[in-house]
Structure 1
Amino acid sequence: MPSVSIDTSGRVLPASATRLSAGQCLQLCVPAGTVLHAGAGRIEVSGPPQWLAESWHVPRWRLRAGETLAIPARGWLQVVARGDAAFTIAMPLGVIDRLAGLLAWRRRRVPSPWRHRPQPIADPAPEKL
Structure 2
Amino acid sequence: MIPKWFHARRQTLTPQRNLFCKVTFKSHYDKDGVKLVFDRVDLEPPRISGDYSTCEDKIVVYDGPSQSDRMLATLCGNRVVTIESTGNKLLLVFSSDGDNSDRHLGYTVTFSRIDSKHYVNVFR
Higher RCO (C-alpha under 8 Å, 6+ residues apart)? 2
TM-score (norm 1): 0.45
Larger Rg: 1
TM-score (norm 2): 0.46
